C-alpha cells in the first residue's frame, strides 16, 4: 500500500474545504439523493460524497456503509484528488500497488473504485463523489458522464449552502445593526426632546418679557427659533414612531367599535380649519391592533388635511369587512401627488418637495411609518391620485389569524 501524499497547496485546499462549514454536519436528503442515484446508475452497492480533511476523509453522504469518516492515509479519495483527470478509476484494487494490503481492500472487499473530484470555483479539490464495488469492473461512457454530472450538482449544492450561510450571517449582522440604530435613535430622540421644549418655552418667555424692547426683526428671529424647534420636535416624534413600529405592531388585539375608533381619531386631530370628514355609515365590531390602526389612520387623515390647498377640505373615510380582512379607504380633495413621485411616497425620508397649507415641508417619515405598520399587520397599502384634484389611499389589514388576500 502507498500512502497518498499531500498536495503542494494543501494549506489553501484545506482552507477551501473548511470554508463550506460542512465537516461534521449531519446527513442531508439533497446529498443522500445524489449518492443513491449514483449507486443506481453505476449499479454498485456503495456511493459516497466525501470531503478530505487534514487527517481524515469525512463522508457527507454515505450510501451503503454505516460509518461517516475514515483515515485519510488509507483513503482512495486522497489519491483521487491528486489526479489531473477529474475521473479517477481503479478497476481492481488488488493488483494496484497503491491499494494492495489497504484495509478497505483486505477487510471490506473494496475492489472497484471510481471517483470524480469535487472542484471549488478556485480550482481546489474538496473531495469526491465516488462509488465502490466488491468486484473488478468497468463503467460505460454513459455511466462516467452521469457520475461527472452528479458531481457537478454536488458542488452546486456546496456553493448554494455557502451562499445561504453567508446571507444568513449578513442578515444577522444587519438585524443587529438595525437594532443598534433603533436604540441609538430612541435614546438620541428622547434626549433631544427636552432641550427643544426648553427652547420653545424660552422663546415664549423672551417674547412675553422683552417683546416691547425688541424690534420687528428680533421678534421674527425669536419666532423662527420657536418654529424651527417645533419642526425638529415633530421630526423627532416621527422618527420615534417609525422605529417603535415593531413595538406598536406587537400590541395585543382589542375588540372595539369602528365608529368609536374614527371618533377618537378626529378628536386627537384637534382640527382648526374648515374641514368636512365623512365617516362610514355602518358601525361594526372589530378585533385588531387598535393602537397600530389608530396611528395609521391618524397619519393618513392628518396628511389629507395638511396637504390640501382647497378652501374647504373634504375627506371621505370608508371601512368594510371582507372575508378575513378589514379594508379602509381615505380620499381627499387635496393637492394630489405627481405621477412620477407615486412610487417613492412610502420610502423613509422620501418627500415630494411641496409645502403644506402652513408653508412647511414634510420630513418623509409619516407615510413610511404607515407602510411599515400596515406590513406588520400582514396587510398592503396602495395609492391613487390626480394632481390638483385629490388622493385616495387604500389599505387592508388582517383580522386576527386571517389569511392573506389582495384588494
Task: Give me the pLDDT at residue 407, please.
Answer: 47
Please say whether the beta carbons of 360 and 401 come within 8 A. no
User: Residue 158, Cβ neighbours under 10 Å: how many?
Assistant: 23
pLDDT digits (tens, 9 = 90+) for 241-251: 666 666 666 66
**Does the pLDDT value for residue 179 go beyond 90?**
no
Contacts of 289 (CB under 8 A, 6+ apart): 248, 249, 251, 252, 253, 254, 377, 397
How confident is residue 404, by pLDDT bands cut at 50, 70 and 90? very low
Q: Region 111-115: what's the mean pLDDT?
A: 96
Query: Beta strands 275-278 and 313-322: pairing type?
Result: parallel
**Does the pLDDT value for residue 261 go beyond 50?**
yes
Angle at 16 between CA 64 and CA 144, to 5 degrees: 45
Task: Give me the pLDDT at residue 402, please.
Answer: 41
* Euclidean distance between CA atoms 63 and 31, whole angstroms: 10
Task: Give me the pLDDT at residue 45, please.
Answer: 96
pLDDT exceeding 90 applies to what percent of the chain? 45
Enter the DSSP assignment of 334.
Answer: S
Tell me the average pLDDT of the chain: 85
Task: Give me the pLDDT at residue 403, please.
Answer: 40
Give the residue carrying C-alpha cell 452528479. Answer: 150
pLDDT digits (tens, 9 = 90+) for 20-67: 999 999 999 999 999 999 999 999 999 999 999 999 999 999 999 999
DSSP 47-105: EEEEEE-SSEEEEEEEES-S-SEEEGGG-HHHHHTT-SSSEEEES-GGG-TTTTT-HHH
Q: What is the 3-state secondary structure (H, E, C) of 30-51?
A: HHHHHHHHHHHHHCCCEEEEEE
**265 dihedral zone (left: phi>0; alpha: psi -120 to 50; beta):** alpha
List of domains in the chain: 10-168 (3.30.450.40), 252-407 (3.30.565.10)
pLDDT digits (tens, 9 = 90+) for 335-394: 888 888 887 788 776 666 677 777 676 656 778 888 888 988 889 999 999 888 999 999
Amino acid at each position: 500500500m502507498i500512502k497518498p501524499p499531500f498536495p503542494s497547496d494543501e494549506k489553501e485546499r484545506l482552507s477551501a474545504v473548511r470554508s463550506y462549514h460542512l465537516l461534521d454536519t449531519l446527513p442531508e436528503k439533497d446529498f443522500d439523493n445524489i449518492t443513491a442515484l449514483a449507486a443506481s446508475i453505476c449499479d454498485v452497492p456503495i456511493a459516497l460524497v466525501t470531503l478530505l480533511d487534514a487527517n481524515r476523509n469525512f463522508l457527507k453522504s454515505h450510501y451503503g456503509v454505516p460509518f461517516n469518516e475514515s483515515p485519510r492515509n488509507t483513503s482512495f479519495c486522497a489519491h483521487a484528488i491528486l489526479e489531473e483527470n477529474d475521473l479517477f478509476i481503479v478497476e481492481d484494487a488488488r493488483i494496484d500497488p497503491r491499494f494492495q494490503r489497504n484495509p478497505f481492500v483486505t477487510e471490506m472487499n473494496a475492489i472497484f473504485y471510481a471517483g470524480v473530484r469535487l472542484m471549488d470555483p478556485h480550482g481546489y479539490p474538496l473531495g469526491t463523489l465516488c462509488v465502490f464495488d466488491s468486484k473488478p469492473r468497468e463503467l460505460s461512457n454513459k455511466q462516467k458522464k452521469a457520475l461527472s454530472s452528479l458531481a457537478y450538482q454536488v458542488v452546486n449544492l456546496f456553493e448554494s449552502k455557502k451562499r445561504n450561510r453567508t446571507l444568513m450571517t449578513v442578515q444577522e449582522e444587519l438585524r443587529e445593526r438595525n437594532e443598534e440604530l433603533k436604540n441609538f435613535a430612541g435614546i438620541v430622540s428622547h434626549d433631544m426632546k427636552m432641550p427643544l421644549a426648553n427652547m420653545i418655552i424660552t422663546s415664549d418667555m423672551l417674547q412675553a418679557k422683552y417683546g416691547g424692547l425688541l424690534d420687528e426683526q428680533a421678534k421674527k428671529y425669536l419666532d423662527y427659533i420657536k418654529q424651527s424647534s417645533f419642526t425638529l420636535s415633530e421630526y423627532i416624534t416621527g422618527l420615534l414612531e417609525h422605529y417603535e413600529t415593531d413595538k406598536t405592531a406587537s400590541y395585543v388585539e382589542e375588540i372595539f367599535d369602528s365608529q368609536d375608533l374614527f371618533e377618537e381619531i378626529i378628536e386627537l386631530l384637534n382640527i382648526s380649519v374648515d374641514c368636512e370628514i365623512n365617516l362610514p355609515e355602518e358601525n361594526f365590531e372589530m378585533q385588531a391592533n387598535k393602537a397600530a390602526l389608530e396611528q395609521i389612520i391618524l397619519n393618513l387623515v392628518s396628511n389629507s388635511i395638511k396637504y390640501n390647498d382647497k378652501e374647504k377640505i373634504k375627506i371621505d373615510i370608508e371601512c368594510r369587512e371582507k372575508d378575513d380582512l378589514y379594508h379602509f379607504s381615505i380620499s381627499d380633495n387635496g393637492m394630489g401627488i405627481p405621477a412620477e413621485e407615486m412610487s417613492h411616497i412610502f420610502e423613509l425620508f422620501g418627500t415630494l418637495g411641496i409645502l403644506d397649507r402652513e408653508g412647511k415641508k414634510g420630513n418623509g417619515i409619516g407615510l413610511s411609518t404607515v407602510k411599515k405598520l400596515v406590513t406588520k399587520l400582514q396587510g398592503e397599502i396602495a395609492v391613487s391620485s390626480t394632481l390638483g384634484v385629490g388622493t385616495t389611499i387604500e389599505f387592508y389589514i388582517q383580522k386576527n389569524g386571517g389569511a392573506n388576500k389582495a384588494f
